[in-house]
Amino acid sequence: MGTTAETATVGTVEELDPRTLVVAANVRADVQLDAAFVASLRDLGVLEPVTVVSDGDEVRVRYGQRRTLGAIEAGLATIPARVIDVADDEALRIVAQMAENDHRTALSNADRRVAYEQLSGLGLTAAQIAKRTHRSKEEVQAATAASASPAATAALAQHQDSLSLLDAAAIAEFEDDEQVVSSIVQAAIEGESTAHVIQQARDERADRNTREVTAASLRDKGLTVIDRPPYGSPITEVSRLLGTREATRPIREEEHETCPGHAVYLAKSYMRSGDSAYSPIYVCTDPKGNGHTVADPYGRTQPVSGPMSEEQKAERRAVIENNKAWDAAVKVRAEWLASFAKGTGKLVDVERFIAHAVARGETPARTYQDTKETARIERMSAPAATRHAAALILAAWDQGTSRLTWRSPSATDARMMGAMTAWGYTPGPVERLLMPKAAKKRTTTAKSA
């Protein structure tokens, strides 16, 4: 073996005080000592010795810059170090440091799932695993859920570069619904927001359950429950029926109960939370055959409307789908905003964002007048207070949005969604309609549906 390569120099391993080491030139400019890394060093120490070079006067770190600085941050008294004696070859140093960092592969999410499963098998709880690995409890629980699902483990193994453990847990949750599973995987592969896909699937499942519970209670009363009549259908609400052509008042619901065409469909109503509720609408399935006359509030007979055109049907489908997507996005944004408010780190152009909001009167004035809130702000650092102000502005805007927002977005809507995107939010397709570049596509959405 040649003697010119540094890897050929075995050296000796010693325990050295990291504060006495000189962090020499290194190709890595940004060390990034994140909290989880420092906590891991504090718990487990430096697992792999750093490599240092001694010239008699000082000991310089050749490989292990991040481990050394992290150990100092963690307060470690000593760290293992391999001491070598090599020629001062700058070209070799640079090439070797690049190789040391380039040829490392982090654990895949599939590997991480298996590791969590093994730790769980050893009797550790999710909270204990999270504490010892310095990962979130939510991630550990997601891995546990995924491990119990053949569909989730298979998807994670096949798409480990795209799917997160939270995505895999959602696949386990919907493993009996191939369409939802496919949508989650596709969104992950394409870099779209899987959170929006998952939330919409949950909303639709909850909606189906709510509808079925309401329908079952009506069936138990002996009523015939039908689907909502399509546009142009002869099926007519009882409140618009006259008993005969000579009648001058609408039939009451209890009077229509003996009619052979008596039935009910469920009308959906929405709440700001995105949840839905169903109310019964009583109808006659064959008003003409059962001798009824359809009348308006003034007693005039109503003509039967014609069927919808294909373009109208497409537009209606697009509106329905985008409304569902918007309802799901409301919940995704709320979760993101809560996390964003607790975050750290510099926000790009945040001062200009706040200035625009103040100039346009978009600040949540009532919140700032809250005594407890202002006291909490007084205790914040300047960066934290700036982030908090941005979070309050975004939350105030979000509270004022509705299903109409995606259909007629304003400049404010575009600015708010643009800021959220710049600060780490991944908007769903319906939210991207708020952005200026999507404006020209908005009018063609229905036609392409």
Section 275-303 average pLDDT: 77
Q: Which residues contact 97 (CB under 8 A, 6 or more apart)?
A: 26, 27, 28, 62, 63
Question: Which alpha helices (H) appear in 190-306, and where do they start and end?
Answer: 194-219, 253-256
Give the DSSP H/E element, type plus range, for residue 15: strand 12-16
Which tokens in the block code for residue 168? 């895999």
The C-alpha R_g of the chain, in whole angstroms, comes to 32
Least confident of 126-130, 226-230, 274-278: 274-278
Query: SS3 of 237, please?
Result: strand
User: Of residues 331 and 103, which shows the higher confidence score?
Assistant: 331
Q: What integer pLDDT is reported at residue 443 of this predicted model? A: 39
Q: What integer pLDDT is reported at residue 445 of this predicted model? A: 42
Angle at Cα 345 formed by Cα 341 and Cα 346, nearest 5°?
Answer: 100
0.75 surpassed by pTM: no
Find which of 20-24, 135-139, 370-374 is predicted with most confidence, using mean pLDDT: 135-139
Q: What integer pLDDT is reported at residue 404 of this predicted model? A: 93
Query: Is the per-residue pLDDT at 371 higher than 80?
Result: no
Count CA within 13 A, CB hemisphere, residue 230: 8
Rounded Cα distance between 220 and 216, Å, is 6
Q: What integer pLDDT is reported at residue 442 of this predicted model? A: 42
Sign of the C-alpha dihedral computed for residues 120, 342, 188 and 173 taken in this order: positive
Contact 433, 441 (CB under 8 A): yes
Place of tokens 């795209």: 162
Rounded Cα distance between 79 and 101, Å, is 20
Contact 278, 307 (CB under 8 A): no
Q: What integer pLDDT is reported at residue 440 of this predicted model? A: 43
Rounded Cα distance between 7 and 29, Å, is 23
Mean pLDDT of the chain: 85
Q: What integer pLDDT is reported at residue 6 of this predicted model? A: 46
Q: What is the DSSP letter of 239?
A: G
Which tokens in the block code for residue 318? 């697009």
Q: Which domains does the chain have, with CATH numbers?
A: 6-102 (3.90.1530.30), 109-202 (1.10.10), 223-307 (no CATH), 316-448 (no CATH)
Q: What integer pLDDT is reported at residue 448 of this predicted model? A: 39
Q: Kindly report the number of other CB atoms within 10 A of residue 368's CB atom.
A: 12
Section 87-115 average pLDDT: 77
Q: Kindly report the number of other CB atoms within 10 A of residue 442's CB atom.
A: 15
Q: What integer pLDDT is reported at residue 368 of this predicted model? A: 47
Section 48-60 average pLDDT: 86
Which tokens in the block code for residue 212? 């079925």
User: Of residues 98 and 176, which shows the higher confidence score?
Assistant: 176
Rounded Cα distance between 223 and 245, Å, is 27
Which tokens in the block code for residue 177? 């619904």
Give the tens place of pLDDT for each residue, 378-419: 899 999 999 999 999 999 999 999 999 999 999 999 999 999
- C-alpha 63 chain-centroid distance: 38
Which tokens in the block code for residue 190? 């394409």
Query: SS3 of 407, please?
Result: helix
User: Of residues 448 and 126, which shows the higher confidence score?
Assistant: 126
